[in-house]
Amino acid sequence: MNHERIHDAQQRELLWFPFYMIYVLEWVLRLCMLRSWKKAYMAISFERDAYAHGRDFGYLSGRRRFAQWRRADA
Ligand SMILES: [Zn+2]
């Protein structure tokens, strides 16, 4: 699924370990703010990047590095 391939790209540019460090840290931070596992998960920058483009199969070929931290129009 394209969603998972986008996570692959995110992991490759961050290296595997830092990806999960940041992923879990961001989840915990957002969990404190949002008080909901599901909302916190959906708010993680990696998930927003992957969900926003999960059905766009041309996305990865043109995706900029660290797109999860860029504004959509930047
Ligand atoms: Zn995901």
Q: What is the pLDDT along the chain (74 residues), one digit of tens a residue?
A: 899 999 999 999 888 889 999 999 999 999 999 999 999 999 999 999 999 999 999 999 999 999 999 986 65
25: buried, middle or exposed (CB in 10 Å: 19+, 13-18, 0-12)?
exposed
Q: Please give the pLDDT value at position 74.
A: 55
Closest CA to 19 of 45, 51, 42: 45
Query: Residue 69's pLDDT is what?
Result: 94
Q: What is the Å distance from ligand 1's center to 47 Cα?
A: 5
65 CB-near residues (< 8 Å, 6+ apart): 13
User: d(Cα 58, Cα 43) in Å, to the nearest integer?
Assistant: 23
Ligand 1: distance of its center to the CA of 46 in Å?
7
Q: Residue for token digits 């916190």?
A: 40
